[in-house]
Structure 1
């Protein structure tokens, strides 16, 4: 999820240490183009944005200018520019048009028929009395349904063909049902939010209300019921969630990586989640919203020890360790071996007990802090006059487990670099079980640390004997106004009892009344 967010990022070139209030604040043209929620806190706020879920950035178009200008002339462009409304192409004056409204209408029709580039935009500016045509790169475009004579061009039969797989997104554009507009052309358009609101004056219709948000924010169930500051925090915590970041994680040597042992797909989720088809991150938990003997004051959480014993929140932490046999001048080089006792800086024999004859630890060895993973000796920095290298002059430079860390050797990789130097990489894993002080969060920006782990016998239970996994403080809800979290709790319970996935898509998900009727 963090990778997808990174690919959708749009950064401003303005310095972050200056105020630049107008550059940081939201602008009406950002609607449907940039996510109004997802932006970092601190000096980068507002300067680093993310594209909305359906928005795209215009790219270079292969345009035959001679043919293009001849098409313009056939539609009423006068290259001499003697009279009429001035026409500009990418900021360059190319002529004038006597009947500007008819000229603009014909150009739009040609674009919709794909006779002109789909990413080309045209606008009749009534204030300055000119026509602006643009095919420049770097413009934020967003798709809209075309409305004609007060009716949407996108009909139910088109949606059925989409569901059956007969239609694709490109077909919608080819069939003149959807077109991309930049902020300039949208100035002269009238967009309806819902189909019921369409009047003869409307020119376009929104595809879905969720296209206001970016990819990450659109995954928050019932996100339209939350406060914006909480949604901002929730979008960040979603990207930090533990899960399965890659299917081939066992073969990779990424630095500081955690893998959740039992990741789950959410019971209440946005339809965007199924569309992305990402690897699951996070877990579904039974939550009780109540106080418990003061141990969940403020943002503290009370966890059920029985749930922790059954595997909730367990993860593996992976860390790679590597050593290289470097070659030096004078035929000197490092050696990956078990260091001999006379070596300078020799540790205790117990520290080398897991090394095999080749100086490398064996897989599945249980390593504690300070114990050696890869045995290695290096030549001295300065040679004596005799230029002799003995055991005593060799320096111990083994790779050890970090202090306050422990783990099991997951895998050992031996290879060579371009220069022929031997490389040994050892990957360790450590089982992490949630304990007091560990942080947990929901996608609504409600975060807290474990304040107490209570034995299962002391956890409150319902009339049917159900005990919660987590006890959450109710005082964290009114002030933060995360109504979407309450709706998700209600929907999650309905989903569990009915055995079905609940649609929690912002703006269009199952309402409270629909959930109650189930």
Structure 2
């Protein structure tokens, strides 16, 4: 049979026209060609040549197959509108105030007295009020802006309702008793800004774009960073430091936290716990838990020979110890416990209590039945044996599914629990003290006792958030660096800080595992936004659509699991019989099932119908043959579109209803169109990135691929065209760029504030820029950039600036610095005072020239270095109220400034404060740092008059000239495309998009340039401004968005000839702020020694540093004083010489340790 010849040209025509290509006839199918447009399907059906005419071969039939794809982008703003960028912080704090506080109160609701058993107090309710500020015994409502200005804490009262017994049988009920104050998170349900419209926020002097999610403590904005932890209550199999396999579980409940390990020592399994003095054989522990039969214990671990062989030595060891009953096992364990004070209990009772309450604290036991714990230990042993026999891999600690993120709510919950327990123990002591008094006639005033303890909770919260140190005595937990000051350098830096994740991992350890980019971080954590240096990979940022779960009640889930056909684990005889699949809920075994696929399918159906909370996840673990259900807090998850039978459930009609406001994002979740997947459930799913990649096995579809990036990395245009480290550099520099920080920026009194005078929104935007509001609060300007070499001042990334552009305020910024002082009141009633400056010979001296009649500088005045802006005086002694000493605040800056604003106020403690804001306007100068949005940073190398700058045929001059050597090694193609798209946008009057994995196409942009008479490549014909001749090459020129960074040469420049010295060593002080010297270090000293420059060494290290004249005795070689040697008791041999003061100090310190350094001197 002869086959017709199909030329490749015909096939390529079909591919290029994107049409389906069909030959009619008998079904002999060729495999479809694969190419980049996976959306185009080709079926080639050929027939025998006898049945096909020549004309059919020449003119094949084209059949159109057009599949329309749904634009899902509106789902992203809908999600952010429903959740917000910092929703996890707010959700967590709201959960703490509404639910967690109630749980903590219920667990500690009773306070009873040891002195009078009839007297007790019971808490019945707890709630948080609205933010207030106490002023002269009056409590008034307060806004966050007022707290910022007045250095007060934005906090609200915590109220409790109590019942207590007054007499033997009189029960008294009191409501609304204040037990302390809780700092309130901005934009949470307790905040005054919650649910307010933009206009109402303006009235409260707040910025509508400010995300909230932070606290204000003593006027300082503080963020509780998201903390990364290993997941609790889960078995993790790992290799310990000795290289042995070990299964560990960290139990965490409201009552107790402990760690239990199952380790292998010389082929036998042992249980390791802090309460045991030595490792306990696992069989002894299981017998102590009530499983006495060796056969039963072996069956709990596994029936197969691999388990029996490995577990055999452990069973033998138990029989060698002659332990056969539960009591013998308990006695054996009881004698090996770390208990300092033994009560009247027997060893067996001690061991029973410890096993029931402390070991595996998260596994619940009912009465004396400790079978659930025995099953759990058997599972741990089974996992260890599987890892030893290499049938199951050990767990990856860096896998995101094995991590939990702790938010502000959980951390405050831990802190409140500790403070509340301390509060109750102090209350109990006070009660016992009052009740133990003889002949107490009056009743105990419990309300007064409660109010006496108020400060302990208030100060506990304030201290923890101010210092960032969480010290919990109950759990022996000491963690530092939990909070940080909110960076207000730019709008993006504040936003980036709200999504930052930090871990308690030691930053100094050079380990690559925890730092590397894990595949499980896809869509959950931003791949680009991580700092450089020691924190690289340890500090991460959340992606755009990430959600962090809060605790979900597990009782209804357990009931549902049993309804769906799971057998209770306590009723099952042989747990590990073939076909049995274990079902776990939050790390606890709840039962077994034999129809795992149906169970998982039914469970997911129930979740999609809204019968179960949308954040509960379920997945099947292949290697351990088990089903895991999770409803705990701290899991990272993200929304994905559900795909069924190869079709996305979100249709064009749904998107229209969303755009018309009929549906919200929540409706998509409740209607089963979108569901949240955590990292573990993602492993069970088959997710398509684009709709045209959906195949039969696909279960989910990404909402938008650009959502894998975070809020900061999302600002980069065309990031998918850049080398990846460049995007990481931009994430760091984007936070240092000056711009607008908020709509209320001019009403703030920040310590240091950088503002760009004329910020512009970029010509090339991304979808993220619109979503986070960066286009309303930008940090940069569109500069016309020419890529060419111009003089030698542009090497090493230096930029050449056009002087006329700087005259027209390109890169001009305002620097605002706050200075202030407190008017202190002293115990004897005296206080500091501010007085006007006094005239000398009828004239006001230079230092006080700008002071007003009240002794404070007037707003708008120009202040010169050395001038006073607050003329303060302090009492000389507290005894005498009449004499005062001057303590003025004078300006120490190098260049003149202007008094921008003056604020006179008092904080919450009624302490008066004076704040003065100084303003400088700076234009770019040589040495100032600039950067594009592609990690291309450089300093200004030269400022050139416009007449010398090249110009194109329209007379347009570049604002910045950049050296072309910045491109080849950096490979920032995104910057080139940005220049092209920006140029096309300027010509046609529209903004282009450079969103990741999308955005404007180079072909379309080039077409626009050609239509407007420009080269498709973006190159222009330029004429030299110096010679007037055409340049010898076409120059790549167009607009690029440039950021001015905070690093300015004026703030770095430092030199000194003489100045202050350290008291101890008499050497120059260190640091620019203290007018210190420039350190000549050990390496520099070695260089000078190497060159043999002895006089230069002498000059640098002694004459210009700490030369000191000493008297030395030539006879004994020791230091004398005032021409007298105390050792020789004579002054005849004393000579004078100069040595460094630090050297003299060393000699004296050695002498104090009984080491006598003697100088051997000769006459020269």
Please give the TM-score of this superposition, normalised by the length of structure 1. 0.94
Within 2, Cα distance between the matches of 1:367 and 1:193?
60
CA positional deviation for 1:90:
0.5
Are the equivalent residues in 1 in contact too, given 2:828–2:878 (CA < 8 A)? Answer: no
CA contact (8 A) 2:826 2:878 kept: no
Asked which structure has the greater CA Rg, the reply is 2
- 8 Å contact kept, 1:90–1:135: yes
Following the alignment from structure 1 to structure 2, what is the Cα–Cα distance between the partners of residues 81 and 498? 74
Partner SS state of residue 782, structure 2: coil
Cα 1:320–1:388 shift into 2, 3 Å: closer
Q: Distance in 1 between matches of 2:852 and 2:563?
A: 82
C-alpha contact 1:260 1:313 (8 A) present in aligned 2: yes
**Counterpart of 2:753?**
257
Other-structure match for 2:899 = 409
Given the alignment of the two structures, is residue 215 of structure 1 paired with residue 706 of structure 2, yes or no?
no
Alignment match of 2:534 (pick from 43, 46, 69):
43
Q: Find the aligned partners of 1:250 and 1:361 in 2 and give their Cα distance.
A: 19
Q: 2:830 aligns with which of 319, 332, 342?
A: 332
Q: Secondary structure at the match of 1:2?
A: helix
- Mapped contact 2:785–2:961 kept (Cα < 8 A): yes
> Cα distance 1:100–1:378, how it changes in 2: closer, same or farther (>3 A)?
same
The number of residues matched between the two structures is 506
More relative contact order, 1 or 2 (CA 8 Å, 6+ apart): 1
CA contact (8 A) 1:237 1:442 kept: no
Distance of 1:326 and 1:456 partners within structure 2? 56
Comparing 397-406 and 125-134, the one that deviates more: 397-406
Contact 1:339 1:376 in 2 (8 A): no
Question: Is 1:486 aligned to residue 486 of structure 2?
Answer: no
Change (3 A) 1:403 1:4: closer
For residue 656 of structure 2, give the secondary structure of its aligned residue in structure 1: helix
In structure 2, the residue matched to 1:274 is: 770
Which residue of structure 2 lines up, in the alignment, with residue 140 of structure 1?
636
User: Does the C-alpha gap of structure 1 residues 329 and 340 become closer, same or farther in structure 2, counting only changes over 3 Å?
Assistant: farther
Query: What are the Cα deviations for residues 350-395 of structure 1, in whole angstroms up to 9, with x where unaligned?
Result: 1101111210111100111111111111123687xxx5854xxx32
Q: CA deviation at 1:230?
A: 0.8
* Pairing 1:284–2:782 present: yes
Q: Which residue of 2 aligns with 1:21?
A: 512
Give 3-state SS (helix, strand or coil) of 1:250's partner.
helix
The RMSD of aligned alpha carbons is 1.8
- Secondary structure of the corresponding residue to residue 94 of structure 1: strand
- Give how far 1:340 is off: 4.4
Aligned to 1:442: 932
CA distance in 2, matches of 1:81, 1:192: 40
Partner of 2:659: 163
Instruction: Determine helix, strand or coil for the equivalent of 1:21.
Output: coil
Query: 2:837–2:851: 8 Å Cα contact kept in structure 1?
Result: no
CA contact (8 A) 1:39 1:45 kept: yes
Contact 2:802–2:944 (8 Å) recurs in 1: yes
Say if 2:530 and 2:731, in contact at 8 Å, map to a contact too: no
Contact 1:339/1:377, CA 8 A, preserved across alignment: no
Greater mean alpha carbon deviation, residues 216-225 or residues 146-155: 146-155
Corresponding position of 2:589: 93
Partners of 1:331 and 1:183 in 2: CA distance:
64
CA distance in 1, matches of 2:565, 2:830: 81
Moved more, 437-446 or 247-256: 247-256
Once the two structures are superposed, the pairs formed by residues 302-313 of structure 1 within 5 Å of their partners are: 302-313=800-811
Listed as ranges, the gaps of 5+ residues in structure 2 are 1-491, 1009-1164
Distance 2:927 2:789 in 1: 18
Flag the 1:123–1:420 CA change in 2: closer, same or farther, 3 A: closer
Match of 2:947, SS state, is: helix
Q: Aligned partners of 1:130, 1:136: CA distance in 2, in Å?
A: 18
Q: Is residue 10–residue 50 contact of structure 1 (8 Å, CA) maintained in 2? A: yes
Aligned ranges 1:65-84 → 2 under 5 Å: 65=555, 67-79=556-568, 80-82=571-573, 84=580
Query: What per-residue deviation string (whole Å, max 9, x for no partner) do you get for residues 317-367 of structure 1?
Result: 11111122212243432111135479xxxxx81110111121011110011
Q: Is the 8 A contact 1:221 1:484 kept in 2?
A: yes
Greater displacement, 419-428 / 275-284: 419-428
SS class of match (2:494): helix
Which region of structure 1 is more displaced relative to structure 2, 415-424 or 402-411? 415-424
**Deviation, structure 1 residue 168:** 2.0
Deviates more, 1:170-179 or 1:157-166: 157-166
Q: Does 1:192 align with 2:692?
A: no
1:105-150 alpha-carbon deviations (Å, 9 max, x no partner): 0000111111101111001122211110001111111221111111
Quote how far apart the aligned CAs of 1:419 are.
Answer: 4.4
* Match 2:942 to one of 444, 452, 455: 452
Q: Within 1, Cα distance between the matches of 2:895 and 2:661?
A: 52
In the alignment, the residues of structure 2 paired with residue 101 and residue 503 of structure 1 have an alpha-carbon distance, to the nearest angstrom, of 44
The one of 786, 795, 800 equivalent to 1:297 is 795
Residue 132 of structure 1: SS of its match in structure 2? strand
Q: Aligned match of 1:4 in 488, 491, 495?
A: 495
Contact 1:224–1:484 (8 Å) recurs in 2: yes
Partner of 2:989: 499
In 2, distance between residues paired with 1:418 and 1:190? 57
> What CA distance in whole angstroms lies between the structure 1 residues aligned with 2:839 and 2:876?
16
Greater mean deviation of Cα atoms: 117-126 or 397-406: 397-406
Cα distance between partner residues in 2 of 1:156 and 1:459: 53
- C-alpha contact (below 8 Å) 2:850/2:857 kept by paired residues: yes
Structure 1 residues 331 and 291: CA distance shift in structure 2, 3 A? same
What's 2:442 paired with? none
Query: In the TM superposition, what is the alpha-carbon distance from 1:166 to its structure 2 partner?
Result: 2.7
